[in-house]
Copies of this chain bind each other. A is one copy, B any other.
């Protein structure tokens, strides 16, 4: 598994995934530990999202994730405690890797958008940081280490 070495610990990183094109439709595949830098413990997806909804608004202590727009589009904003970046996800062939200790927000969902996320661990509420000031402190401590 070499991808992990290519990923810096900072902001979201776009991962271009393989596509098998065919007159019968396109197929994209993702293998844990190969195309994403972790084993896939959990898959979740957001749907029926109102176009004015905002999702996210938290960071994770340990969890790593890759976010995809499987249908439609949305905006992903990430923040490592020092700087912010934004990405528009609209291509099913491209995932955005979000490392630990990155605050993320998603909005501007298009009608019928589907956001799929591959996650490195099962759900664990204690891994969430939902308070932005607490996130800033944790990110600062991580930079000092």
A contact set with B: CB distance below 8 Å: 23-32, 34, 39-50, 53-55, 70-71, 92, 109, 112, 114, 116, 118, 122-123
Contacts and interface: CB of A to CB of B under 8 A. Distances in A.
SS of A interface (majority): strand
A46 B31 contact: no
Contact of A50 (B24, B47, B123): B24
Contacts of A118: 43
Contact of A92 (B30, B47, B50): B47
Contacts of A25: 46-50, 53, 55, 109
Contacts of A42: 29-32, 40
A24 B53 contact: yes
